[in-house]
Chain A
């Protein structure tokens, strides 16, 4: 990836083809390197609500906010390049036939675009938000209408994210990642298989305890956040 692909070119968000074409088949290395150059470009192009404090957010969070708030197709393309190959791996491991897998990836990524107004960076990491969309889509393949909890509120998330909450969530994700990395390979494999939908209910019952130790602090954070949110609803 060379720098010719960034800078002023990124201003043609409406139907601009260059970034799309350039990124059509990026290597994983390219994806990893991309964010830093985009970051500087985006600081100049996004509106004030997504600069300032949000400049410290992860690339994915800022891309997702740009999709949510500006319907930014370039940012969506970056999310696609990052998540679509992973989602394809996910749905294949969950049992989708390879021929179906890309249709599911397409559905999930289009849901990301269409449901973007529901994305709340103070509530979920982009990866967690996309994970639950993909999981629900996977399950709906097998059985119609998976029961989902009642939404907390019909309101859309605050336009201005609570920067402290967003940063806390991102740090929690780092903690989770580090905890997973510390597991021995067999344990890690089981956790992966569980979250990718490869284990049955009874399999999971046998391995419970492995993932739960690593998510306790995340639960505490989630409770804090929920109480903060619910305070305004009651």
Chain B
């Protein structure tokens, strides 16, 4: 296990986001944050498994839909064939490296992040971006602030190394901050250690001071 299984995590995935992940309705970017947090947090892993137990009860209670003839024979006939599909092994073999638990390591395709400067010493590495949102790694030098920003929607930020504080509190390794569009905040990295975060949004970030809004398209944020 790469991630230190932190006993000190005090900021967890909210019930609503966990339920959305467990039922498969969460975007790719947020799912990455949730899967990574669960990799580090026993409490939230238990919560996920509880949702899956509830999902199993719902599945069990379904009346069922008649199968067409032949499906059963096709499946029984395929039992001796080789699996041949990498999906089967995917969730078993995935392993993290450095401070990156398996889900992030997979998003990085097993290689260290390719950082890009974002201003003020802050660097980022985009992991995924689609119409539903984006996920990135943020590297914040010790003691430095992340540019002040608000978000169009929800933002999830998970600490992988170091820690940061903003007006809502302190966030250490494994902690996740859930910020909605009302929160205008200036997360500042702890002194003493550079901070690495996994951050996901469902809308473009709007930076106020350091990165002019007109540059946002170039940063793909």
Taking Cβ atoms with an 8 Å cutoff, the residues of A that contact B are 20, 23-25, 28, 73, 76-77, 80-81, 83-90, 92, 94, 101-102, 105-106, 109-111, 113-115, 118, 123-132, 134-136, 138-140, 143, 145-154, 169, 172-173, 176-177, 180, 191-192, 194-197, 199-201, 203-205, 208-209, 211-212, 214-216, 218-220, 222-223, 225-227, 230, 233-234
Give the shortest distance, in Å, between B60 (CB) and chain A (any CB): 5
The answer on a CB contact under 8 Å between A118 and B52 is no
Is B16 part of the contact surface with A, judged by Cβ < 8 Å?
Answer: yes
Provide the bound-state CA to CA distance between A88 and B75, in Å. 14
The answer on a CB contact under 8 Å between A88 and B65 is yes
The answer on a CB contact under 8 Å between B71 and A84 is yes
Is B103 part of the contact surface with A, judged by Cβ < 8 Å?
Answer: yes
The answer on a CB contact under 8 Å between A127 and B57 is yes
The answer on a CB contact under 8 Å between A208 and B16 is yes
Chain A residues closer than 8 Å to B79, beta-carbon distance: 73, 76, 110, 113
Main secondary structure of the interface of B (DSSP, over half): helix
The answer on a CB contact under 8 Å between B46 and A219 is yes
Contact pick for B25, options A80, A88, A152, A201, CB 8 Å: A201
Chain B residues closer than 8 Å to A101, beta-carbon distance: 65
11 contacts between A and B (CB under 8 A): A20-B76, A73-B76, A86-B62, A131-B55, A145-B90, A146-B28, A147-B28, A180-B58, A195-B23, A211-B54, A215-B54
When A77-B76, A131-B55, A132-B52 are in contact, do A118 and B15 touch as well, CB less than 8 Å? no
Residue ID in chain B nearest A143 by CB atoms: B28
The answer on a CB contact under 8 Å between B19 and A147 is no
Name the interface size band of chain B: 35 or more
The answer on a CB contact under 8 Å between A135 and B75 is no
Interface centre among A83, A148, A205 (most CB of B within 10 A): A148
Chain B residues closer than 8 Å to A215, beta-carbon distance: 47, 50-51, 53-54
Contact pick for B20, options A28, A132, A136, A201, CB 8 Å: A201
Chain A residues closer than 8 Å to B5, beta-carbon distance: 230, 234
The answer on a CB contact under 8 Å between B57 and A180 is yes
Provide the bound-state CA to CA distance between A219 and B50, in Å. 5
